[in-house]
Amino acid sequence: MNASRKKVFSKTVSREPDRRERSIAVVTGGAGGIGAIICQALAREGMIVVVGYNRSAKKAQELAASLPGDGHVALSAPVTDSAALVKFAAEISARYGACDALVNCAGVTRFVPHGDLDALDDALIDNILSTNVRGPFAAVRALRPLLDKSKHPGGAVIVNISSIAGLTAMGSNVMYCASKAAVDNLTKSLARALAPKIRVVSIAPGVVDNDFIRSMDSRWLEEQIGRTPLKRLAAPGEVASAVIAAIKHLTFTTGAIIAVDGGRPLS
């Protein structure tokens, strides 16, 4: 083969896309119900997904292996352990060199009637606040150097999964509502602090149709649907669609609280 034919051949041969050319999305709480749906949506959009987990190693590994495309991985990411998050970030750095999107989806709660103050004990309060509020901040702190390296259009993106409970003060318990209000405030503060290189957005679902909600008292559930102008629960896929929009399409949006709630505050 002469030199000219070699040159033509080299231009026509296809190649696998370099992983560094694909966006890297990290999801804490990725093995959970909503987290898994978000991971699947991100992968369908062509992103490489890091499924962060706490105790659900097997579930996270199976999820990562099932996602469309290649390059996905499940990594330990206990958001209440800052030292472990530093190791988590180091592993992501070694594998991919950067992070384009961080979705803070790890969270905990337990149903406690709002008037039953004694049932909302200190251990539950500490668990909710350390996971739902300190956890997202600790993840941002650990991954910020990698987010700073992003070449994502519009800058790197942090998406905090919040709840309309942060606005309405109606939710599984008093402290859960307070934790989500704190997440929304954190979103605004971080959006100001990390601009212009990193955008920060909250996605605030209403009542989501998942196993936790379906385990609630049926009369309570019907009441929530009745109070929602669109007269149904949010589908997990609709939450995932909002995450995709925040990352890929709303490139001039930061510090915003995006509701996926069927108009609940209107009632």
Between residues 23 and 16, the one the model is more confident about:
23
State the CATH number of the domain containing residue 126.
3.40.50.720
Mean pLDDT of 103-115: 96
Higher pLDDT: 27 or 211? It is 27
- Cα–Cα distance for residue pair 33/236, rounded to 1 Å: 8
Please give the pLDDT value at position 20.
57
- In degrees and rounded to multiples of 5, residue 216 shows phi and psi of -70, 165
Q: What is the pLDDT of residue 264?
A: 86
Q: Is pLDDT above 70 for 90?
A: yes
pLDDT, tens digit (0-9, with 9 covering 90-100), for 185-240: 999 999 999 999 999 999 999 888 877 777 767 787 888 888 888 998 889 999 99
Residue 15 located in a structural domain: no
The token pair at 227 is 């109070």
pLDDT band at 9 (very low <50, low <70, confident <90, very high): very low
- Residue 201's CB: how many other CB atoms inside 10 A? 24
Q: Is pLDDT larger for residue 209 or for residue 134?
A: 134
Tokens of 214: 């379906």
Q: What residues make up the domain containing 132?
A: 20-262
- Residue 245 counted as domain residue: yes
User: b or e along 111-141 (b: 16 or more beta carbons within 10 Å of the residue's beta carbon)?
Assistant: ebeeeeeeebeeebbebbbbbbbbbbbbbbe
More confident: 88 or 9? 88
Structure tokens at 51: 């499924």
Burial 153-187 (b: 16+ CB within 10 A, else e): ebbbbbbbbbbbbbbbebbbbbbbbbbbbbbbebb
**Lowest-pLDDT choice from 18-22, 30-34, 57-61, 146-150:** 18-22
Q: Is residue 14 part of a domain?
A: no
pLDDT reported for residue 220: 75
Please compute the mean of the pLDDT values over residues 110-139 and round it to a whole number: 97
Task: Establish if 7 belongs to a structural domain.
Answer: no
What does the mean pLDDT of the chain come to?
Answer: 91
Q: In percent, how much of the chain has pLDDT > 90?
A: 77
Q: What is the pLDDT of residues 39-57, one digit of tens each?
A: 999 999 999 999 999 999 9
Q: Is residue 162 part of a domain?
A: yes
Confidence at residue 199, expressed as pLDDT on a 0 to 100 scale: 98
What is the count of structural domains for the chain?
1
The model's pTM is 0.89
Q: Judge whether 247 lies within some domain.
A: yes
pLDDT at 123 (0 to 100): 98
Q: How far apart are CA 209 and CA 180, in angstroms?
A: 19
Q: CA-to-CA distance for 118 and 262, rounded, in angstroms?
A: 33
Does position 253 have pLDDT exceeding 60, yes or no? Answer: yes
Q: Mean pLDDT across the stretch 245-260?
A: 97
Average pLDDT of span 164-170: 93
Higher-pLDDT residue of 30 and 11 is 30
Active site residues: 176
Nearest Cα neighbor of 35 from 245, 203, 265 is 203
pLDDT at 260 over 90: yes
Q: Please name the amino acid found at residue 45.
A: E
**Mean pLDDT, residues 127-137:** 98
Is 13 inside any structural domain? no
